[in-house]
Amino acid sequence: MKYLILSAATVLAALSAPAAAQDRAGDIQVKLLGTAVLPDGSIDAVNRDDVGLPTGTDTAANDNYVPTLAVEYFVTNNVSIETIAGTTQHDVDAISGFPAGTELVSDALLLPATVTAKLHFDLGGVKPYVGAGTAYFIWLSDDPGAATIPLGVTETNLSDEFGFALQAGIDVPLGDNGFGFSIDAKRYFIGTTAEWLVGGTQVIETEHALDPWVVSAGVSFRF
């Protein structure tokens, strides 16, 4: 709830903030970014355990580094709406209970659909911003981890979920032709429910905190 309140407060502040010195209303800005996706992946709850997981079992999702595309539309001089495009792939490994590095989920491909409202500040050569919005994590595919296949696991599933994102960054114009450099950081608050199946029958179901940091840097083009 506190993230919903913060998101609403950010949008209201954006709507009431004074216009920036530079007229950007109606502009579109496209960013080509290199992105580090740094998830958590720890177990929040075990809903079903028909196999007897070792006491203290916990997991982590590996980091990934991918290209992303961000597109934003400036509603006013200092308020924009942004969405991002890109996918990221992760494994889920044991960090306790099983030997460290035991692979439980393999090649989980995530589409983190995200829309944020951003409030921009004009400080001359540097234009910082803050934002908040919603996200829907869509798992396009996932496979049983190598360590689970000998145990008879035939299928894994990660649930698609809604969540929230907070954002901050800076845009640095390089000249007057709309070209620039950008640094961006997002913190997501979102989880997933994982299940392992043997012959179509669920044997394990766990809830996981993903809550990734997503940190990007790259070039921007405004027109």
pLDDT score of 22? 61
The token pair at 167 is: 């954002």
Look at residue 159 and give its three-state secondary structure.
Answer: coil
Q: What is the pLDDT of residues 36-54, one digit of tens each?
A: 999 999 999 999 999 999 9
Look at residue 2 and give its three-state secondary structure.
Answer: helix
Phi and psi, residue 176, nearest 5°: -110, 15
- CATH number, domain of 148, equals 2.40.160.20
pLDDT score of 131? 98
Q: What is the pLDDT of residues 91-126, one digit of tens each?
A: 999 999 999 899 999 999 999 999 999 999 998 889
For residues 46-75, give the mean pLDDT. Answer: 96
Q: Report how many domains make up the chain.
A: 1
For residues 131-147, give the mean pLDDT. Answer: 97
Range of the domain at 56: 2-222
Q: What is the pLDDT of residues 145-169, one digit of tens each?
A: 999 999 899 999 999 999 999 999 9
For residues 53-58, give the mean pLDDT. Answer: 92
Residues in the chain: 223
pTM: 0.86
Task: Name the DSSP letter for residue 152.
Answer: T
pLDDT score of 37? 98
Q: What is the pLDDT of residues 180-215, one digit of tens each?
A: 999 999 999 999 999 999 999 999 999 999 999 999
Q: Is the pLDDT of residue 3 over 90?
A: no
Please count the CA atoms within 13 angstroms of the CA of 216 that sit on its side-chain side.
28
